[in-house]
Chains A and B, each alone.
Chain A
Amino acid sequence: MKKILIVDDEPNIVMTLEYTFKKNNFEVFIARDGQEALEILKTQFPDVIILDIMMPLVDGFETLQQIRQNENLNHCKVIFLSAKNKESDIEKGLALGADAYLTKPFSLKKVVEQVHVLLA
């Protein structure tokens, strides 16, 4: 079973992603900000991470940078999922080493598809 970590500070959004990926046979981990995510990543090595950018304490960009320094997470695919849809933000996200950048509001179907593409 593939593992997925969802990092977002909006509980109602997390709830929909959690439901969808569980239905698609993922083991789902949830973090409500970057700090919590990094805590989880000390013990868990998910296949995919869905990462929001605007979060309190540690934001998505910084979280990704930390992830990329962790050798245990080399195989891990990271998808930014953010309401920031400016060209510059997308470029920055991809430059930092994200595998995909999806904008909010999103289509759950497309998020799942993207995850499958990355894992294929």
Chain B
Amino acid sequence: MNSIVLIAILVLYLGVLFYIAHWAEKKDNSKWTNNPYIYTLSLAVYCTAWTYYGSIGVAAESGLNYLPIYLGPVIIAPTWIIILRKIIRISRINKISSVADFISLRYGNSRFLGALVTVICLTGIIPYIALQLKAIAETFHIVSNTPIRTNIFEDNTTFIAIALALFASYYGTRYVDASEKRKGIVTAVALESVLKLVFFVIIGIYVTYSVFNGFGDIYEKASQLPDFVKRNTIGGLPQAINWGLLCVLSMFAIFLLPRQFQVAVIENNRENHINTAVWLFPLYLLIFNLFVYPIAWGGNILFEGQDVNSDAYSLLIPMHFKNVLLTALVFLGGFSAAISMIVVSSIGLATMVTNNVLIPYNFIGQLKGEEQTINSTRILNSRRIGIFSLIILAYFIYRFFGLDYSLVSIGLVAFVIIAQLAPAFFGALFWRRGSRLGAVWGIIIGFAVCIYTLLIPYALGASNAANSLISEGFMGMHLLKPFQLFGLDYLQPVPHALFWSLFFNFITYFGVSVSFKGNYRERNYAEMFVDINKYVTNHENAFIWKGTAYRNDIEKVLIRFLGEERTRRAMNIFNLKYNVDKNQELADARLIKFAENLLTGHIGTASARILIASVVKEEKITLPEVLKILEESKENIIINKKLTETSRELQELSAKLKDANDSLIQKDQQKDEFLDTVTHEIRTPITAIRAASEILIEDDEIPEELRKQFLQNIISESDRLNRLIDKVLDLEKFETGKQKINVSENRIMETIENAIEPLQQLLTNKQISIHVEGKENTKALFDEDRIFQVVTNLVSNAIKFCPEQDGLIVIAVHDKADFIEVQVRDNGKGITKGDFENIFDKFYQSTNQNFKKPIGSGLGLAICKQIIETHKGKIWATNGANGGACLNFTLPKK
């Protein structure tokens, strides 16, 4: 393909990326950019040109050996829910902007440690970036069929590198606060992740199904190649250990690589996005790896005996068949894979370099007493220049050092170097005792082992078996052979270096941490990191600091970096959050931490601490004192929690008391009303008796007939009085549960007949007919005397409701599965709806009676209800189909 056309495609493609990044930065589009899928796809920055081209090379040379690098992340992904969430939480709360910041903060805002981590990352990643540039350049030359020019200013790939550097330095530094989200970059990276996957799958399908006849066909043809068996044999236990170590290596890489930390932690918008990433990211890796093997062996078959670079099979195959479009797509996919890595890595590294080396060591001036705009510009520019020069530096490394190793081997070396951060990093998450000294020495010694077992031999030329260091060991000591350190001879160089470097790194980190106690800051942050969940909402409380500081001084520092407006807003938030008087002169520990946090995003943790320390007068705190304060604050938190609980319990209790009181008042009122009504009901017969007696005693002329009538009235009113008293006592017994019932199995029809018998005379007098329906031997469990009373009451009640002519009462017994139901219906006016519930209340008298005054006492239905409920039955009122009242009750059969 013509190189001009190819350049045009690349420019167009970069233009699209610029546009996407620009579009994503707009607030309106945040629903497209702030979602778990974009997040997960941005994690796929893990798949670089190494994956895109290098895996195929490995698969072609040595079968399935490319897999462990993807297996590791797949295995570790489920733990993200806990570990990654914790890292994100810590970073968000402390405004951390890089892995260097993370480690430096945990070990007491250590400036040296931050710088050390930065150096480690630079050492590992710059060659790695160089590698990506190499991949772009080489594939460019393969596709355009042009030679690599010796003069870099004539080589087109130089300009591609410059364009990339500009893109990254522009979009990577939109905000001074490095902990801010870079939506544009992330969205562009996510898009690239989609493209590289899609293009890779397309070439995979093309090779598998168009060039060949499916997986089986490739396998069959490949198995006839001379060294197929040898290349595809997994070599027993030693090889399994090699595999295992590579898996471990990639597990660390997925957390620690600056670009992974950048996209997974710094650019994370919501913790919940992890939940999607946990399954989607492994799925992405799986799909990516599906076609590696067929492409690799398809290439081996096609190019057998030719001297071609197996890394480039995915390009060479479509070119071999003169498929220009497919070649271009594959090239674009590889380009995407490379530039997303380059851009994200360079942003991460540049932030580290400025915030952890340049600013804390005053390389870009003191940043003291300057205007906010000047400071911000200076910080931003240093980051821009950083990103730009990192990429250009990487390009020069590629051009001048050649990088003759395969894509995979340089990538793996980078992994091993970055893995040196693992003990200090994971220790920071889970181990309180881990100290700054331990971390520093662990990393240094681990890195030294790395240099000895990996970097030096590689620099000397790994293939150069004649080299005396590699074959004989240092000064001829066989135990010190770089690839067989201490006689460990069955591991390949990379797993070997990983094993020994991590071994010494870990031992040192652990040993030093246990032997020498750290200072109070380390112990303080240890607490905050390990127990982050306790401090999520008010981590400033967990910060320990003693000394004298003035709010004014701190505000002045903040203004220099945040500006007047943002400082004022931040201080307002602080005052509100902790209920602090804004006129208070002295600053406390919380404000110190709050201010350090605000600065951290701009200038890194170490510088933030140094800056704040420069305007306050801090007193030394001894470690035991810190432990005591921590203990106290822990207790305080517990006490606070207990207080909250107690206060909630008290509230509940007081609510309950209020309820109880209300119900007592209500009961009291009910009692009053009950007493009132009882008094009235008692006084009424007494009144009649008294008045009649008065006439009888005073009046001698009273006619005989009237005299007898009055005497008769006295008798009936006395009976009424007696009945009333009986009923009140009855009711009282039921209500207080003193009334016992004698339950036995009885025939309900008999009881009903017996109850109606005494009422027959009244029914005849009122010309009311009564019907009883039901099966003769229906049985239920009840106290016969009591149900007799209920039926009497209900029938008496029905009599009251019956019209004066053609009155009809029906008693129906229904035999249900577990209970029987008895209905007493009349053909009166029925019950108004509002009365359905109330008629069972004491002394409640329906407003709808068709006679002037109930014959009963107003207690009948209340007693019925008590009796039925004591039998564990139900009683309720409805209106029948004919509109008359219908009173129902049930009795259990068992």
By a beta-carbon cutoff of 8 Å, the part of chain A in contact with chain B is 9-10, 12-13, 15-17, 19-20, 23, 32-33, 54-57, 83-84, 104-109
* A12 near B853: Cβ-Cβ < 8 Å: no
A20 to chain B minimum Cβ distance, whole angstroms, is: 7
In the docked arrangement, what's the CA distance between A108 and B709, Å? 17
Report the 8 A-B pairs with minimum CB-CB distance, sorted nearest first: A16-B691, A83-B683, A12-B688, A104-B687, A105-B687, A105-B690, A9-B853, A12-B713
With both chains docked as a complex, state the minimum distance between the C-beta of B831 and any C-beta of chain A, in angstroms: 15
Q: Are B688 and A108 in contact (CB under 8 A)?
A: no
Question: Smallest distance from the beta carbon of B673 to chain A beta carbons, Å?
Answer: 12
Q: What is the distance, in angstroms, from B696's C-beta to the closest C-beta of chain A?
A: 10
**B362 at interface (Cβ–Cβ under 8 A)?**
no
Cα A95 to Cα B849 with chains together (Å): 30
A56 touches B853 (CB 8 A): yes
Is B535 an interface residue, CB under 8 A from the partner? no
- B residues near A57, Cβ cutoff 8 Å: 847, 852
The number of A-B residue pairs with CB atoms under 8 Å apart is 74
Contact (Cβ within 8 A) A10 B695: no
B contacts with A, residue count (CB < 8 A): 29
18 contacts between A and B (CB under 8 A): A9-B853, A10-B688, A13-B687, A13-B691, A15-B692, A32-B852, A32-B853, A33-B852, A54-B680, A56-B853, A57-B852, A83-B679, A84-B676, A84-B680, A105-B683, A105-B687, A106-B687, A108-B695
Select which of A12, A54, A106, A109 is within 8 A of B692 by beta carbon. Answer: A12
A13 vs B853: C-alpha distance when bound (angstroms):
14
Is the beta-carbon distance between A109 and B679 smaller than 8 angstroms? Answer: no
Candidates A16, A32, A33, A106; contact of B695 at CB < 8 Å: A16
- A89's nearest neighbour on chain B, judged by CB, is B676
CB atoms of B694 and A109 under 8 A apart: yes
Q: Is the CB of B694 within 8 A of A12?
A: no
Chain A residue nearest in CB terms to B716? A12
- Per-residue interface assignment for chain B, residues 321 to 363, with 1 indicating a CB less than 8 Å from any chain A CB and 0 otherwise: 0000000000000000000000000000000000000000000
Question: Contact: A104 with B853, CB < 8 Å?
Answer: no
Q: Does B684 lie at the interface of the complex (its beta carbon under 8 Å from any beta carbon of A)?
A: yes
Residues of B within 8 A of A109 (CB): 694, 698
A106 CB contact (under 8 Å) in B676, B691, B706? B691
In the bound complex, how far is the Cα of B706 from the Cα of A23, in angstroms? 13
User: Looking at chain B's contact residues, is the secondary structure mostly helix, strand, loop, or mixed?
Assistant: helix
Q: Tell me the minimal C-beta distance from A53 to chain B in angstroms.
A: 9
Contact of A17 among B684, B691, B853 (CB under 8 A): B691
* A12-B692, A56-B849 given; 11 more Cβ-contact pairs under 8 Å: A12-B713, A13-B688, A16-B688, A54-B680, A56-B854, A57-B847, A83-B687, A105-B689, A106-B691, A107-B694, A109-B698
> Are B680 and A16 interface neighbours, CB within 8 A?
no
- Distance, CA A19 to CA B849, complexed state (A): 29
Given contacts A9-B853, A105-B690, contact A20 B695 (CB under 8 A): yes
Which of B680, B702, B717, B849 is within 8 Å of A12, CB to CB?
B717
CA separation between A33 and B852, bound complex, in Å? 7
Whether B713 lies near A15 (C-beta < 8 A) is yes
Determine if B684 and A104 form an interchain contact, defined as CB atoms under 8 angstroms apart: yes
Residues of B with C-beta under 8 A to A84: 676, 680
- Hey, which chain A residues are within 8 Å of B854, CB to CB? 56
- List of A residues within 8 angstroms of B201 by Cβ: none
Instruction: Answer whether residue B686 sits at the interface, using C-beta atoms and an 8 A cutoff.
Output: yes
Q: A12-B713, A16-B710 are in contact. Are A108 and B691 (CB under 8 A)?
A: yes
The distance in angstroms between the C-alpha atoms of A104 and B698, with both chains bound, is 19
Chain A neighbourhood of B692, CB < 8 A: 12, 15-16
> Chain B's nearest CB lies how many Å from the CB of A106?
7
Give complex CA distance A17, B709 in Å.
14
Min Cβ gap B834→A in Å is 16
Assess the B680–A10 pair: CB atoms within 8 A.
no
Is B845 positioned at the interface, with any CB of A under 8 Å from its CB? yes
- Which residue of chain B lies nearest to A81 when distances are taken between CB atoms in the complex? B687
Q: Which residues of A contact B706 (CB under 8 A)?
A: 19
- With a 10 A CB-CB cut-off, give which of B683, B687, B716 has the most chain A CB atoms: B687
Complex contacts, B683 vs chain A, CB 8 Å: 83, 104-105
Note all chain B residues with C-beta closer than 8 A to A54.
Answer: 680
Q: Report the separation of the CA atoms of residues A9 and B854 in the bound assembly, to the nearest whole angstrom.
A: 10
When chains A and B are docked, how far (Å) is the Cα of A106 from the Cα of B14?
Answer: 110
B709 contacts A15, C-beta separation under 8 Å: yes
